[in-house]
Amino acid sequence: MIYGSMADSNAGAGKMEKIVALCKRRGFIFQSSEIYGGLNGAWDYGPLGVELKRNLKDYWWRSMTQLRDDIVGFDGSILMNRAVWQASGHEATFSDPMVACKQCRKLFRADQVWPAIEQSDWYDALAEMFALGQLDTLNLKKWAETKGRRDAPNLALVRNLPVTLSWLSEKVQADGGLSKLSVKEFIQYLATEQFAQTGLITPCPHCGGELSEPRAFNLMFKTYIGATQDESSITYLRPETAQAMFVQFKNVLDTTQKKLPFGIAQIGKAFRNEINPRNFTFRSREFEQMEVEFFVKPGTGPEWLEKWREERLSWYESIGIPRAKIHVLTVPDKDRAFYSQGTYDLEYEFPFGVQELEGIAHRGNYDLKQHAEHSKKPLEYFDEETKQKYLPEVVEPSAGVDRTVLALLCEAFDEETIKDDESGKEEVRTVLRFSPRMAPIKAAVFPLLKNKPELVAKAREIYGALQPLMKVAYADTAAIGRRYRRFDEIGTPFGITVDFETLEGAKEACTSATGAPIAAGEKDTVTLRHRDSMKQERIAIGDLFSWLLMKVA
Ligand code: ATP
């Protein structure tokens, strides 16, 4: 019996902590190199995580290259000639402005400093003091000598209390009093020991120290090819999969004789030396992308951009991410990549905020033009109809595998209070409500009792018959209720239990899960238990396989 969902306790950070813990506990995602203290920004997918990720990638691949006539698949190398990155502009411009703390030396992406400050251990108490107007010297002194000393030892207020307090009151008065300040400015005042020539200082989120001016930081991982490590052997781990598809455009075109509009699809690893990897797998240094470069006739880019936006929104719906949870951001001119003529970001409501899942960009003919110029090889398309040669425009839907896996986990995670049918006690049921299409394990087969050879033999037989068709599990330890719960927690949509009615015949007539009648006394039926509703019904073993296949297709 279900009493209710625990929606309130599943908001924000609390929910994320539970998801991270579940991922580790049940083998979805582990920290990379964990026994050596980990490696920031890298993650390993465990036995269940890899199934989930594979289901996602396989389904994307099928949607793009099998169910459509106008896209072909491709798998490029991760290491490419350095000239590719020079032509694409990555070597010169693939960078984020970055700031460093002069005291603790930590690095932050300039645009992420304030969000990091707001999440820091020391911010909340100060912001609350500010909101309540409790900003007298005594309160600030008390904070600086306790929490401040512990969590923000390099904040000017903590390092040099009397000086900061005295110029603060002077300065704030001169600026028209505290009521004129925003909380940001207030924090900056506390970070500025004395009014520097440059004005107010923004403090380091980690220790409260002074941050440097922003400087460009290239996100590509540099490496060397061959035995000598000099300028001539430099290349990079690819920061996106796209470029290989542009540089092989002509080969793909010539070998497939595709006509515009057509696309090339690829799934593969990408690497970015992110300054602050964070939010579990959301921002990693090694991740996978699923990208399509869709080549279209000049002038038709804008209309294809719209088509792809719709296409991708319904695709997310088909994997269990509702449209209402995806926000479409029209990226403003000033924030778009320099080559883009229009970009939509599809953003998902993650527990830590609304954040990008996929970018869909109209890249014009920028990439093909660059590669044609730098390689001095013609990359034009010959239009049979008009007898003209031209460079096509490109629309690129670029999705993150890891971010989508994370969105699937966040969307699926649920907790509810239920009453255990056997013990009558209340308990919390954790359930991952994956769509059957995405679920790592589609069904679990159980003999009701482990010590009844006839039950075990029949369950093993069903399990063996299902194995070639889909990923299934077999479990015979613990009470059946406990087994159901274990599989709920990893998102297995169906439980198949071989019980005494399977062997001896159904106790009473009923309707099968397929809608067909089951007669009293009919043998070879099993209990089919549904993860989400916990409803149980019977189904003939002969109907089970096609029924399951239809559900997980
Ligand atoms: P962000 O603004 O979050 O850094 P981006 O706009 O740089 O992302 P794109 O270059 O458009 O990202 O890459 C396409 C997709 O690749 C993103 O929508 C995202 O799903 C994925 N992606 C990009 N960077 C990362 C990362 N560091 N970790 C995980 N996935 C990423």
Write the pLDDT tens digit of every residue in 116-150.
Answer: 999 998 999 889 888 887 777 788 889 999 999 99
Higher pLDDT, 111 or 531: 531
Which H or E run contains 361?
strand 353-364
The pLDDT of 98-108, averaged and rounded, is: 86
CA nearest ligand 1 atom 22, residue: 400
CA angle 479, 482, 483 (to 5 degrees): 85
The pLDDT of 160-187, averaged and rounded, is: 78
Q: Which residue has the tokens 């199934």?
A: 51
* In contact, 339 and 89? CB cutoff 8 Å: yes
Asked whether 284 lines ligand 1 (CB < 6 A), one says yes
CA nearest ligand 1 atom 19, residue: 400
Q: What is the pTM of this model?
A: 0.83
Q: Percent of the chain beyond pLDDT 90?
A: 76
CA nearest ligand 1 atom 26, residue: 283
Q: Give the pLDDT band (50/70/90) at residue 3.
A: very low
Shortest-distance atom of ligand 1 to CA 355: 3
Do β-strands 95-100 and 215-218 pair in parallel, antiparallel, or remain unpaired? antiparallel
Higher pLDDT, 359 or 7: 359
Shortest-distance atom of ligand 1 to CA 401: 20
Q: What is the C-alpha separation between 418 and 414, in angstroms, rounded?
A: 13
CA nearest ligand 1 atom 11, residue: 359
Q: Give the pLDDT band (50/70/90) at residue 11.
A: low
Q: Percent of the chain beyond pLDDT 70?
A: 95
The pLDDT of 153-173, averaged and rounded, is: 83
CA nearest ligand 1 atom 31, residue: 400
CA nearest ligand 1 atom 1, residue: 356
* In contact, 524 and 513? CB cutoff 8 Å: no
362-416 residue pLDDT tens: 999 999 999 999 999 999 999 999 999 999 999 999 999 999 999 999 999 999 9
Q: Tell me the best of 94, 275, 287 to mutate to test the pocket of ligand 1, counting ligand atoms within 8 Å of each CB and taking the most.
A: 287
Shortest-distance atom of ligand 1 to CA 288: 30
Cα 47 to ligand 1 centre (Å): 25
Q: Tell me the best of 109, 345, 356 to mutate to test the pocket of ligand 1, counting ligand atoms within 8 Å of each CB and taking the most.
A: 356
**Residue 213: DSSP 8-state:** P
Give the Cβ contact number of residue 126 at 10 Å.
24
Asked whether 397 lines ligand 1 (CB < 6 A), one says no
Output the pLDDT for position 2: 39
Q: Distance of CA 380 to CAs 55, 73, 371, Å?
A: 36, 20, 11
Cα 333 to ligand 1 centre (Å): 18
Asked whether 398 lines ligand 1 (CB < 6 A), one says yes
Tokens of 339: 């080559």
**Which residue, among 534, 414, 540, 525, has the nearest Cα to 481 in the 3D structure?**
534
**Residue 486: DSSP 8-state:** H
Q: What is the C-alpha separation between 65 and 37, in angstroms, rounded?
A: 41
What is the average pLDDT score of the chain?
Answer: 92
The pLDDT of 351-356, averaged and rounded, is: 94
Asked whether 356 lines ligand 1 (CB < 6 A), one says yes
Asked whether 96 lines ligand 1 (CB < 6 A), one says no
**Which residue, among 396, 398, 365, has the nearest Cα to 299 in the 3D structure?**
365
Task: Name the phi and psi angles at 498, rounded to 5.
Answer: -90, 115
Cα 160 to ligand 1 centre (Å): 41
**β-sheet bridge partners, residue 324:** none
Asked whether 362 lines ligand 1 (CB < 6 A), one says no
Cα 243 to ligand 1 centre (Å): 15
Tokens of 232: 């001539």
**Which residue, among 80, 114, 381, 115, has the nearest Cα to 234 in the 3D structure?**
80
Q: Give the pLDDT band (50/70/90) at residue 278.
A: confident
**β-sheet bridge partners, residue 271:** 286
47-61 residue pLDDT tens: 999 999 999 999 999
Output the pLDDT for position 8: 46
Chain centre distance of CA 111: 20
The pLDDT of 244-258, averaged and rounded, is: 96
> Is the dihedral angle over the CA atoms 1, 478, 412, 314 positive or is it negative?
negative
Say whether pLDDT at 524 is over 60: yes
Say whether pLDDT at 312 is over 90: yes
Q: What is the C-alpha separation between 264 and 252, in angstroms, rounded?
A: 8
Give the Cβ contact number of residue 477 at 10 Å.
9
Say whether pLDDT at 541 is over 70: yes
448-483 residue pLDDT tens: 999 999 999 999 999 999 999 999 999 999 999 999
CA angle 4, 527, 502 (to 5 degrees): 155
Q: Burial level of 388, CB count in 10 A (0-12/13-18/19+)? A: exposed
The pLDDT of 168-176, averaged and rounded, is: 71
Compute the chain's Rg from CA coordinates: 29
Asked whether 272 lines ligand 1 (CB < 6 A), one says yes
Q: Which of 30-44, 240-254, 327-341, 531-545 has the lowest mean pLDDT?
A: 327-341
Q: Give the pLDDT band (50/70/90) at residue 107.
A: confident
Q: What is the C-alpha separation between 483 and 520, in angstroms, rounded?
A: 28
176-233 residue pLDDT tens: 666 678 889 889 988 987 655 567 889 999 999 989 888 888 889 999 999 999 999 9
Task: Name the phi and psi angles at 101, rounded to 5.
Answer: -80, 130
CA nearest ligand 1 atom 16, residue: 400
Q: What is the C-alpha separation between 272 and 48, in angstroms, rounded?
A: 26
**Which residue, among 118, 163, 119, has the nearest Cα to 140 in the 3D structure?**
163
Asked whether 399 lines ligand 1 (CB < 6 A), one says yes
CA nearest ligand 1 atom 21, residue: 400
Asked whether 400 lines ligand 1 (CB < 6 A), one says yes
Q: Distance of CA 437 to CAs 28, 321, 408, Å?
A: 17, 12, 12
